[in-house]
Structure 1
Amino acid sequence: MRSIGEMARESGLGVSALRFYDRAGVLVPDRVDPVSGYRWYAPGQLDEALLLARLRRAGMPLADIRLVLAGWAGADTDLVRQLLRAHLRRLERGLSGARAEFSALRALLDHRENPMTSLRTDTAVRLSLSGPDLAAALDAVRFAAGADPELPVLAGVHFDIDDGALHVVATDRYRMAVARTPADGYDGPRAQVTVPLPLADAMRALLDGDREARLSVDGDRVTLEAGDRQTAGPCLGHDFPDYRRLVRLPAGRRTVVDVPGFREAVRTGPVREQEEAAGDLTVLAVADDGAVTVAGEGAAGDGLIAVNRAFLLDALAAGARDRLVLESGGPTAPLAVRRPDDAGTFSLLMPVRLEN
């Protein structure tokens, strides 16, 4: 017999995936301990798990996988071959359609201006900021910065200087955080730069007191001074997404939550696991009056919003308030975590569609 951990290591499916397939009736363990609930798998189930992993990597739907496993275990190889051929045809049609769409998109890009924000400014920028305010802004967004080497454009903190303020932004696609702090000494045109994460962290390390901070941007180089110390370096050589467009959301239901109690409910409450989700999910139930609670196991209905639990806990901590506002336009709309006293500082979490 194999434990669920051993099965995960040998099959490559992962413990959460094996639990999901058990609940879905696709790969049910041979025995479940009635006291501990621990799952045990028979020796022959490793081959089924390896086959399941292959089929999922090929993108086969769960309904078809269930039939393939049943046919594989029996003598109905004709059904298995038919299902494999049908899925391959779907993939080929999908690839052909995707190629056509990408060709059309490339043609559109060739005939329009780049909609991304301009990285560099031709005008040297010098501005003064409150050290504690800048430190708080960096703390409010740092958790959302990207770490995917395939997307170096997101591996930084974006500085947007406009209308007497510095807007600090970070995103990894699945979450976005924005903070605003007043700035003095610059009244020129809007200027934007993206600071690499190591440099942004070095800037934060300078801001350990009540001293004023001085930020300067000259070409592709950015410098922060605090007292007699400074740190400087080149900006990222990539364009940052137009975050202002991404944060324009229709108004949704708003509710004020007591952060210590709500955070504890999220931390200790039930979670859901889905194979496609990167991490445990917290499911929030939104009542008709806008009240938000952590939904229990098995909860269903239209008023449920599923988000990555770790991301939600990060956003609550970054909010740095005992009371925060949660706002959502529905299960498929981003969940906004806002400060009730600071409209310029907030975070957005992308929801995860719950599987039936």
Structure 2
Amino acid sequence: MRSIGEMAGDSGLGVSALRFYDRAGVLVPAWVDPVSGYRWYAPEQLDEARLLARLRRAGMPLADIRLVLAGWSGSDTDLVRGLLLAHLRRLEGGLAAARTEFSAIRTLLDQRENPMTTAPRTTAARLSVSAPELAAALDAVRYAASSDPGLPMLGGVLFDVEGDTLHLVATDRYRMAVARIGATGHAGPRVQVTVPVPLSDAMRALLGGDEPVGLTVDGDRVALEAGDRQAAGQCLAQDFPDYRRLVHLPSGRRALVETAALRAELETGPVRPGVAREQGDVSGDVSVLGIADDGTVTVREDGDGDGSRVAVDRGFLLEAIAAAGGDRLVLEFGAPTAPVAIRRVADETTFALLMPVRLDD
């Protein structure tokens, strides 16, 4: 017999995934300790677990996985081959359709681009900001910056200067964090630069005092001066996406939550296994959040969903909670397919948006 930990290590399925597939009736352990509830698996179940892991990586829907495993344990190989072929055809059909659409989009991009008139950055700004406020703003958004080399324009923190306001924004597509602080000294047009993550971290390291600091943008260079110390370097060459088009706060229920209690429930409550977002990219453990009519937020069991639930990446939500800080936070829910907003109680201008995870069932 294999313990659930041994089964996880040998099969390629995480412990949380094995628990989920047990509750879903897909891969039920051979024996469960009636006292401790600990799961034990028979030796012959390892092959099924490895098959399950392969089907999951291939993105097969849970309903089809269930049938494949049922056919695998019997003698009906035609059923298994038919399900595999049907799923492969769906994938190929989806890829062919995506290639056609992407080809059309690339043509539109070629029509929009005119490299002969591309000019270097000529933006310039010099402003003063509060060191503690800038430090808090960087802490509130830094975690959401992307590390995907295929999307270099997201590998930094956007500094968006407009009048007496400085917005800091970071996103990796699955989450976005926005913070706003006051600024003085800039009376010119709006200026936007994306500060690479290493440089933003160097800037954060200078923000230990209470005195105002100076932020200077000169073309493609940005510098932060704190007393006699400075962090300076090149901005990212690529343009950051228009985040204002992406900031659509959910219109639905709002809940005031105790931060420590929600964190504890997320860390100990039920989870679903990671869900494939795209080829080669799988989310971490997923928590299903529900909000009751009285505004109470709970971490729900698998399968007890309705229109008042939303699934999110548990690790991402824990990071957003930690970055927001405070004893209490406001969570805002829209439709199950809409982002979840996490904001501070006394600060409507600093918030995070977390994209929901689509569930297969």
Identify whether the pair has TM-score above 0.5, normalized to the shorter chain: yes
* Residues 63/219 of structure 1: CA separation in 2 closer, same or farther (3 Å cut): same
The alignment partner of 1:305 has SS state of strand
Query: What are the residue-to-residue correspondences of 1:105-184 with 2, within 5 Å?
Result: 105-112=105-112, 121-184=121-184
Aligned to 2:270: 271
* Residues 333/127 of structure 1: CA separation in 2 closer, same or farther (3 Å cut): same
In 1, Cα distance between equivalents of 2:335 and 2:254 = 11
Q: Does structure 1 retain, via aligned residues, the 8 Å contact 2:22–2:29?
A: yes
Aligned to 1:52: 52
Q: Shift in Å at residue 157 of structure 1?
A: 1.1
Within the candidate set 297, 308, 317, 2:313 is matched to: 308
Aligned to 1:331: 336
Aligned to 2:296: 292
Q: Shift in Å at residue 41 of structure 1?
A: 2.0
Moved more, 317-326 or 25-34: 317-326
Superimposed CA distance per residue, residues 136-175 of structure 1 (whole angstroms, 9 cap, x where no aligned partner): 1111112222223333322211111112211101112221
- Unaligned 5+ segments in structure 2 are 276-281
In 2, Cα distance between equivalents of 1:296 and 1:59 = 24
* Residues 72/271 of structure 1: CA separation in 2 closer, same or farther (3 Å cut): closer
In 2, Cα distance between equivalents of 1:12 and 1:262 = 30
Q: Does structure 2 retain, via aligned residues, the 8 Å contact 1:213–1:224?
A: yes
In 1, Cα distance between equivalents of 2:223 and 2:12 = 46
Q: Does structure 2 retain, via aligned residues, the 8 Å contact 1:119–1:239?
A: no
Q: Shift in Å at residue 128 of structure 1?
A: 0.9
Aligned to 2:11: 11
Q: Shift in Å at residue 196 of structure 1?
A: 1.3
Moved more, 237-246 or 304-313: 304-313
* Residues 250/110 of structure 1: CA separation in 2 closer, same or farther (3 Å cut): farther
Q: Shift in Å at residue 267 of structure 1?
A: 4.2
In 1, Cα distance between equivalents of 2:120 and 2:329 = 35
Q: Does structure 2 retain, via aligned residues, the 8 Å contact 1:279–1:308?
A: yes
Aligned to 1:95: 95
Q: Does structure 2 retain, via aligned residues, the 8 Å contact 1:315–1:337?
A: yes
* Identical-pair percentage: 67
In 2, Cα distance between equivalents of 1:285 and 1:53 = 28
Q: Does structure 1 retain, via aligned residues, the 8 Å contact 2:124–2:191?
A: no
1:254 paired to 2:227 = no
Aligned to 1:79: 79
In 1, Cα distance between equivalents of 2:339 and 2:120 = 30
1:343 paired to 2:330 = no
Q: Shift in Å at residue 47 of structure 1?
A: 1.8
Q: Does structure 2 retain, via aligned residues, the 8 Å contact 1:156–1:170?
A: yes
Q: Shift in Å at residue 250 of structure 1?
A: 5.3
1:63 paired to 2:67 = no
- Counterpart of 1:274, as a letter, is P
- Counterpart of 1:133, as a letter, is E
Aligned to 1:202: 202
* Residues 125/274 of structure 1: CA separation in 2 closer, same or farther (3 Å cut): same
Moved more, 158-167 or 78-87: 78-87
In 2, Cα distance between equivalents of 1:260 and 1:52 = 36
Moved more, 20-29 or 258-267: 258-267
* Residues 257/15 of structure 1: CA separation in 2 closer, same or farther (3 Å cut): closer
The alignment partner of 1:111 has SS state of helix
In 1, Cα distance between equivalents of 2:36 and 2:150 = 41
Superimposed CA distance per residue, residues 37-92 of structure 1 (whole angstroms, 9 cap, x where no aligned partner): 22222222222222222223333222222222222222222222222222232222
Moved more, 192-201 or 147-156: 147-156
In 2, Cα distance between equivalents of 1:194 and 1:340 = 28
Aligned to 1:281: 286
In 2, Cα distance between equivalents of 1:42 and 1:26 = 15
Instruction: Report how many residues are paired.
Output: 351
In 2, Cα distance between equivalents of 1:296 and 1:348 = 21
Which stretches of structure 1, 4 residues or longer, exceed 6 Å deviation after superposition? Answer: none
Q: Does structure 2 retain, via aligned residues, the 8 Å contact 1:137–1:180?
A: yes
TM-score normalised per structure 2? 0.88
Q: Does structure 1 retain, via aligned residues, the 8 Å contact 2:168–2:180?
A: yes
* Residues 79/171 of structure 1: CA separation in 2 closer, same or farther (3 Å cut): same
TM-score normalised per structure 1? 0.89
- Counterpart of 1:293, as a letter, is V
Moved more, 252-261 or 238-247: 252-261
- Counterpart of 2:289, as a letter, is L
